[in-house]
Structure 1
Amino acid sequence: MPTYSYKCTECGHAFDVVQSISDSALTACPNCGGKLRKVFGLTGVTFNGSGFYRTDSRSGSAGGAAGPSSGSGSASSGGSSSSGS
């Protein structure tokens, strides 16, 4: 379930609440009874664990994409060599 942040417009009390998406938003401050406002942060998704950093996806060499190369590929040796008249 998502965590929502609220802040009171009167006393400035800030807190987080774990709520379902279908739950209605809170409206009254638990401290003073004032009006609450949802606080939206910049980070909506946080990736934790291995595999999310550049160094995690590399096993050893930093060579990059060194695919099979045979010098002259079959696509570059095109063209028709017989010009029948």
Structure 2
Amino acid sequence: MPIYAFECAACGHAFDRLQKLSDADPVQCPACGEPQVRRQVTAPQFRLSGGGWYETDFKKDGDKKRNLAGDGGAKPAESKPAESKPAEKKADPPAKA
């Protein structure tokens, strides 16, 4: 269940409440009893950091686990020299008679 932050517009009392998504927000302030409680917009309490997402969920024991954000420990591909292609010849515009 998520934790929601609320604030009373009448007295400024701020409080948190653990409730289901389907539960109704509180109407009355627990400090002053006024019906002016509003839900606040807050930042999440966790941060995803690190080298990226790992492909570890739903893997079998024999499957290779790799990092989805990075190279996954794979060997770098050998660089091949760019092959030079001959320039395509443009067709001459038709002659006007």
The answer, yes or no, to whether TM exceeds 0.5 is yes
- Post-superposition offset of 1:36: 0.6
Q: Which residue of 2 aligns with 1:13?
A: 13
1:68 counterpart = 2:69: no
Structure 2 unaligned blocks of 5 or more: 53-75, 87-97
Q: Which residue of 1 aligns with 2:95?
A: none
- Post-superposition offset of 1:46: 2.6
Q: Which residue of 1 aligns with 2:65?
A: none
- Post-superposition offset of 1:68: 1.7
Structure 1 unaligned blocks of 5 or more: 58-65, 79-85
- What's the RMSD between the two structures over aligned residues? 2.4
The total of aligned residue pairs comes to 62
1:40 counterpart = 2:50: no
Task: Please give the TM-score of this superposition, normalised by the length of structure 1.
Answer: 0.57
Ranges of 4+ aligned residues in structure 1 off by more than 6 Å: none
Structure 2 CA distance for partners of 1:45 and 1:71, relative to 1, 3 Å: farther
Identity between Structure 1 and Structure 2 (%):
32
Distance 1:18 1:31 in 2: 18
Task: Please give the TM-score of this superposition, normalised by the length of structure 2.
Answer: 0.51
Q: Tell me which of the two structures has the higher relative contact order, counting C-alpha pairs closer than 8 angstroms and 6 or more residues apart.
A: 1
Q: Which residue of 1 aligns with 2:29?
A: 29
